[in-house]
Every structure is written in C-alpha cells, then in structure tokens.
C-alpha cells in the first residue's frame, strides 16, 4: 500500500476541462480508503472542479469545508501553488474521447488510456455513492454494470488481450459495451460534478477543451504531498472504502524527473524491447537519473565502465550520449549500433523505475510509529533494481545485506510469500538502517553525467 498522498487530476466532459484532487487509496485499520476534493450535502456528494490549477490552488489555500480537509497530508497540499497542482499526463482523463479511443486500433496507448478512464470513473462513482447497503436503488447503476462487464475487465490485461483474431473480437466487444452504457455512465456522474469550484468560479471561465491550456508552473520545485495515515472525517461520503480496481492508472512518481505520456512510453518500449536493452530510472539521495540495462547470460550489464554506472538527468541527455563515440560496456552488444542510431527516446517503463529513497522515507515513518503505510511487497521492486546494480558494480556489501540470513534478506523472502503483510514499527526500525546502507552503496556506484 502506497503512503497517503493527494494527486491533482483533470477531467474533460462536454468540451470542458476541470481540475480537482484525488486521494488514492490509503490503509487504516485493515481497510482501504480513497476520496476526491468535494463536499456532501444531504444525500448528494459532489466533486469540485476548477477552470485552472491556479483556481484550484486558491481554493485549497482558503477553504477547509470539504472532504479532504482531514486527509493526513492536507496541511501540505493547502500550501501548494499552481505548478504543484497541475496534473501530469497520466492523470488527465478525457471522458468525451472514449468513443474515439475505442474506434482506434487496440495498441498499447489506446488500451491503457481506456483502462485509465474507466478506472477513474469507477473510483468517482464509488466515492460519490451515498446510498446505504440496504437501499434497493443504486445511484450509479450504469457505472456498476459497465465495470462488471467482462469485456471491460479485459482492459486490465493489457494490449496482449487484444492480439490476433480473438483479440480483434474482444476489442469490438469493448466498443459495443461502451456504445450501450457510456452515455448513461456520464449522465450519472455529471449530476455530481460541481463546475463552480465550490462557488469560486463560473462556467464562462472554462475555455473549450480544445482551447484550454494549463497555467505555466511558477517554478520547477517538486513538492511531495505525503504523510501519516488517519481515518477520514466521520460521515464523509466523498471518502469510500476502495475495492479492487481496473489496471491502467500509473502511480505518482514523487521523485522522478521524467514525465511522459503512456503513449510515448509504450511506443518507445517497442523499440527497446526489440533491441534487448532497456531504459532504467534510478532515484537515490543524490538525485534521479536514467541509464540503460541489458542481460548477458542472465547477468545484468549497465551503460557504464569498470563497475561505474553512467546515469543522466533526462532521456534526451542519455540519447545524446548514446549517439556519441565514448567507449562503455554496452558497446559490444550486437544491437548497440541500432541504439546509437535511433531517434526513439529512452523512456523507462514503470517496472524499470527504482525509487530507492521513497522506500527509505517510508521505512523511517513506519519506524517512528506510522504503521500501516508499508507492506512487505513494497520491497520487491526497489530490491530487484538494487540486485542488478550491485551485481554489475560488484557491491559485495549489498549482497551481504540481502543475503537470506540477513534481516533485509529475510524481509525480501517474506515479500515473496506474503506481499500484503504489513511492516510493523519494529520491523521497519531493523530494516531502515540496513536499507540506507544499501542505498549509500548503490549511490556510490552511480556516476551522474552531464
């Protein structure tokens, strides 16, 4: 379970784009909760939408009468400016564009975009539904019916579910379901969308979606809105227990410098998978950087030399280096000439991003008593990256710390057996210094290049 956070999102409906906030699922007392920026009056819950990130920021600074006011990280969010409250491409959802996406070929971009849109719609309905379990009528019947359709569920399987002749039929099935239900879904939701921003805006302030442009960020500072877990305010109906959700929404990368649309990443992955050399992002205390990795006889090999791993501030900087003539340990790979000659940006996929600092911060919080923030499964991806980096750089101390008999190694083994088990404060207090030692060793092997 990720640490509590609040994420800016954009929703486009009826040729109008509104900005709001979403609190992704967080855990307390064995239950998952999520919420949107909104209020509840009587039996009606609404989501506040704003014409610009600046209007959203102004509301956050001045108002506490909403359902996120008691969220653990609201004190941080309330001080953020327009730059920090501008959604990235992964968190912009075009409800108007669903039919157009379904009419396209089922490439990776179309499948992920459609899955993400259905996912956020189901989350909205879940949080906005104020009916009791005993009520005969549901507020969001069409949405529930849509999400329950097996054709829609297949979106969570990725683009592979729509390959070949059977895949073509499956994609046609998705379109048919949307033809039958999407207008009803949108109608159900639109009744709960407040386009006045809680009384701070008018409809005239919203440009058409085709004309809308975000305000320029005030600065490049990246503020991470995260903190301890607390229960939502009693009686809050914009916060609801989270059910299992459809795949398609990427998690927010708090320390990453890379911003790319799912379409761009998917297109890039086709090339990099074909050449057998993958872009990798690593986040350590010194900063974040992107590099390249491949496997030679199942042994990790990185872009580097003499056990040093070259990392670059951006995919553009990495691509520029690859086009050069400086020798390195990937030069002898058979497909390297294709890498040196390509115009395809080295954009890492989610599974190839390793944020080592985020895990360290989370372990520190749990050790301080903020239990429920971290499961053992959270260790899996960072450790996967660390093992490869340590193998290439010859970091024997890292191998010792991850040995099966060491505390950190035992925790990793438990992550395989019980990924959903929650780390206790005592667990985290033991693992935190060991993980920090791992991170320091890896940090020392990275060479940040201009």
Is residue 241, in this structure, part of any structural domain at all? Answer: no
Domain match, 131 and 61 both: yes
**Domain of residue 197, residue span:** 7-212
pLDDT of residue 367: 86
pLDDT of residue 212: 57
Domain match, 304 and 168 both: no
User: pTM of whole model > 0.75?
Assistant: no
**Token representation of residue 136:** 């005969």
**The 193-194 sheet, strands edge to edge:** 38-41, 44-48, 193-194
pLDDT of residue 256: 59
Is residue 238, in this structure, part of any structural domain at all? Answer: no
Within 10 angstroms of residue 60's Cβ, the number of other Cβ atoms is 23
Answer whether 72's CB lies under 8 Å from 228's CB. Answer: yes
| Residues in a beta bridge with 34 | 240
Domain match, 200 and 290 both: no
Q: Which of 212, 240, 268 is the last residue of a domain?
A: 212
Q: Which of 212, 247, 276 is the last residue of a domain?
A: 212
pLDDT of residue 227: 36
CA-to-CA separations, 158 to 146, 171, 246, 288, in angstroms, rounded: 18, 11, 11, 28
Is residue 219, in this structure, part of any structural domain at all? Answer: no
Going by C-alpha positions, the residue among 422, 445, 443, 227 that lies closest to residue 356 is 443
pLDDT of residue 211: 64
Q: Which of 181, 212, 243 is the last residue of a domain?
A: 212
Domain match, 139 and 15 both: yes
Is residue 230, in this structure, part of any structural domain at all? Answer: no
pLDDT of residue 250: 26
Task: Compute φ and ψ for 191, nearest 5 degrees.
Answer: -65, -15
Q: How many domains does the chain have?
A: 2
Residues of the chain with pLDDT under 50: 1, 213-238, 241-254
Is residue 231, in this structure, part of any structural domain at all? Answer: no
DSSP annotation of 49 reads -
Going by C-alpha positions, the residue among 304, 307, 306, 308 that lies closest to residue 322 is 304
CA-to-CA separations, 31 to 8, 131, 239, 331, in angstroms, rounded: 23, 19, 12, 50
Is residue 222, in this structure, part of any structural domain at all? Answer: no
């Amino acid at each position: 379970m990720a640490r509590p956070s609040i994420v800016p999102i954009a929703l486009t409906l009826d040729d109008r784009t509104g900005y709001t906030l979403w609190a992704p699922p967080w855990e307390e007392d064995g239950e998952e909760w999520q919420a949107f920026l909104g209020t509840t009056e009587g039996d009606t819950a609404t989501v506040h939408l704003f014409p610009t990130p600046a209007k959203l920021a102004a509301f956050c600074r001045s108002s506490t009468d909403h359902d996120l006011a008691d969220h653990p990280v609201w004190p941080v969010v309330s001080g953020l400016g327009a730059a920090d409250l501008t959604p990235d491409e992964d968190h912009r959802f075009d409800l108007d564009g669903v039919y157009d996406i379904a009419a396209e070929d089922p490439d990776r971009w179309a499948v992920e975009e459609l899955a993400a849109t259905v996912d956020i719609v189901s989350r909205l309905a879940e949080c906005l539904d104020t009916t009791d379990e005993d009520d005969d009528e549901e507020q969001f019947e069409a949405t529930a019916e849509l999400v329950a359709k097996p054709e829609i569920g297949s979106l969570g399987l990725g683009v592979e579910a729509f390959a070949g002749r059977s895949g073509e039929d499956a994609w046609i099935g998705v379109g048919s379901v949307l033809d039958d239900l999407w207008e009803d879904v949108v109608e159900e939701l639109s009744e709960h969308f407040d386009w006045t921003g809680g009384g701070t805006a008018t409809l005239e302030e919203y440009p058409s979606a085709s004309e809308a442009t975000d305000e320029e960020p005030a600065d490049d500072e990246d503020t991470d809105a995260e903190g301890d877990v607390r229960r939502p305010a009693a009686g809050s109906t914009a916060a609801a227990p989270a059910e299992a959700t459809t795949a398609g929404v990427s998690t927010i990368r708090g320390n990453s410098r890379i911003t790319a649309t799912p379409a761009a990443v998917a297109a890039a992955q086709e090339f990099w998978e074909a050449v057998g050399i993958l872009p990798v992002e690593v986040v350590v205390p010194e900063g974040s950087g992107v590099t390249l990795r491949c496997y030679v006889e199942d042994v990790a090999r990185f872009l580097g030399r003499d056990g040093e791993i070259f990392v670059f501030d951006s995919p553009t900087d990495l691509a520029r280096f690859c086009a050069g003539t400086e020798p390195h340990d990937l030069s002898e790979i058979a497909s390297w000439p294709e890498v040196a000659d390509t115009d395809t940006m080295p954009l890492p996929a989610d599974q190839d991003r390793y944020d080592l600092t985020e895990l360290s911060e989370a372990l520190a919080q749990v050790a301080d008593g903020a239990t429920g923030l971290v499961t053992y499964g959270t260790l899996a991806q960072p450790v996967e990256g660390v093992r490869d980096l340590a193998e290439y750089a010859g970091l024997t101390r890292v191998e010792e710390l991850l040995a099966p008999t060491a505390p950190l190694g035992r925790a990793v083994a438990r992550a395989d057996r019980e990924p959903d088990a929650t780390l206790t404060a005592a667990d985290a207090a033991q693992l935190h210094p060991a993980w920090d030692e791992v991170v320091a060793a890896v940090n020392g092997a990275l060479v940040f290049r201009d």
